[in-house]
Amino acid sequence: MSARTIRPRPLTAEAFRAFGEVIEPDNCTEIRLINNGTTTRFHDIAPVDVSGGGGHALISIFRGKPFALPFRVEMLERHPLGSQAFMPLEGRPYLVVVAPDAGGRPGEPAAFLASGSQGVSYARGTWHHPLIALDERSDFLVVDRGGSGSNLAEFLLDEPVLVEG
């Protein structure tokens, strides 16, 4: 099946706002000097929204196998009960693919190239592609929701989308 192509944009807080937050010091509005001035706290950069359905927060490490561009997007998923945040631990760029909701299914996908010092937090219910590490196997710290209830909805796209390099 042929696929339409999209080009990734650089990840910025403004461009990503409809989908969640970008986790980086520049995107923090409350900066605190703590520990007797030896540490700067970039406070509350993104909400941890995990209480849906009596959930609780999980901290995990995802070890992502690498993909190359162009990347073929055939499905998207979302977590209706909680947010999901990814922070790269090895300083490598990665690909973020999201889409607005269009009546309970993904709308037009958008791709962002995240730098190795940018994290993302998908707001609860945001359509996104599962982790897409690039170039080399990469570890990510992940904060998301644990607990009962179904927190994963997957959607197979009618037409795949090719994210070009």
Ligand X SMILES: NC(=O)N[C@@H](O)C(=O)O
Number of chain positions touching Ni ion (CB under 5 A): 1
Q: How far apart are CA 73 and CA 15, in angstroms?
A: 20
Interface residues for Ni ion in 75-94 (CB under 5 A)?
A: 84
- Closer residue to Ni ion (CB): 45 or 131: 131
Q: What is the CA radius of gyration of the chain?
A: 16
Under DSSP, is residue 52 helix (H, G, I), strand (E, B) or coil?
A: helix
Where do the H-state alpha helices sit in the chain? Answer: 13-16
Residue 21 C-beta: closest distance to Ni ion, Å: 15
130 is a site residue for ligand X (CB under 6 A): yes
Interface residues for Ni ion in 30-49 (CB under 5 A)?
A: none
**Which amino acid, 164?**
E
Whose tokens are 């196998």? That residue is 65
Nearest CA-CA partner of 155 in 125, 132, 124, 133 = 125
- Closer residue to ligand X (CB): 24 or 83: 83
- Select the residue interacting with ligand X from 22, 95, 96, 131 (CB under 6 A): 131
- Closer residue to ligand X (CB): 100 or 130: 130
Instruction: Give the binding site for Ni ion (CB under 5 A).
Output: 84
Instruction: Give the binding site for ligand X (CB under 6 A).
Output: 84, 128, 130-131
